[in-house]
Amino acid sequence: MGDETEEKEQKQKAESRRQTKASKKDKPDENVVSDVTEKTAEKAKSTPKKTAKVKVRSKRYMEVIKMVEKNKLYPLTDAVSLVKQTSLTKFDGTVELHINLNPLALSEKGDKKDFRVTVSLPHSTGKTIRVAIADEAIIAEIASGKFNFDVLVAHPSMMPQLAKVARVLGPKGLMPNPKTGTVTPDVEKRVKELTSGQINIKTEPENPILHLPVGKVSFPDKNIAENVTAVLKGIGVAKIKTVFLTATMGPSICVLVL
């Protein structure tokens, strides 16, 4: 019995020594851990933190922005005059009209989210619009990848043939559509209307916002103001929330809508 007891004790001691060695082997070297920690800290210090990009305005822009009073609603004639003074381009910039519509007013009147309207500008936009009438030759050009027009007008009888290139025209917003008046029995009359200043405008997808050109900086103030007035009347003042005028690259000017 004494031998068995002694042998048992020796086995327990041997097992205890084995476990102690194993635990020492698994335990990381404190010096190694310290070295890794220091290297990680140094790397963190040397790695530059990502910061949000700040849009830097030009010196000229910072000068002209001082001419615009923040949160002020300018009468249309004053807004037109100011937008021309704050134009920053050396070329003849475009005067842009940006309109936020009132979603509540639109829903009450039954208008859909993709609100659209056709307006005739008394003085055009200053941009030459290329209008084409759909025929077999035009369809062949479209199929070959040529688009020598900005607007395509079609007689209803041409729609089956245009279906062949609908996948090409659709994504470009060039497919004739009865809603925009580009599918009509009197194509010649529609071409004349479009080239003389009639424009189709619609809101952004899912957003009640309109963006459109209403002239050039070189236009007389009166012409720009009359174009803006035509647009506001065409939309309906009750549907309008806010209106802004701006020249290309210039600051926005909030317009008082009466």
Say which CATH number the domain at 102 has: 3.30.190.20
Reply yes or no on whether the pLDDT at 218 is more than 90. Answer: yes
User: Same structural domain for residues 236 and 248?
Assistant: yes
50, amino acid identity: K
CA 175 to chain centre: 22
Helix, coil or strand: residue 239 = helix
CATH number at residue 165: 3.40.50.790
> Same domain for 95 and 62?
yes
Check whether 94 has a pLDDT greater than 90: yes
In angstroms, the first-to-last Cα distance of the chain is: 113
Q: What is the Cα–Cα distance from 35 to 178, expressed in whole angstroms?
A: 74
- Residue-range definition of the domain harbouring residue 97: 56-127+197-258
Residues 70 and 179 in one domain: no
Q: Could you tell me if 255 and 207 lie in one domain?
A: yes
Task: Flag the least confident range among 49-58, 66-75, 117-126, 194-203.
Answer: 49-58
The amino acid present at 128, given as its one-letter code, is T
pLDDT for residue 89: 87
* Alpha carbons 182 and 190: distance in angstroms, whole number: 7
Confidence check: pLDDT of 100 > 70: yes
The DSSP call for residue 238 is G
H or E stretch covering 2: helix 2-26
User: Does residue 173 come out as left (phi exceeding 0), alpha (psi in the -120 to 50 range) or beta?
Assistant: left
Residue written as token pair 């647009």: 231
* Pair 226, 145 in one domain: no
Residue with tokens 């910072």: 62
**Looking at per-residue confidence, does 51 or 120 come out higher?**
120
Q: Could you say which of 188, 217, 236 is where a domain stops?
A: 188
In a domain, 237, yes or no: yes
Same-domain status, 218 and 258: yes
Query: Are 184 and 210 in a shared domain?
Result: no
In tens, the pLDDT along 1-37 reads 545 556 666 667 767 777 666 565 555 555 554 555 5
Q: State whether 101 and 158 are in the same domain.
A: no
163, 257: one domain: no
Task: Kindly state whether residues 78 and 174 are assigned to the same domain.
Answer: no
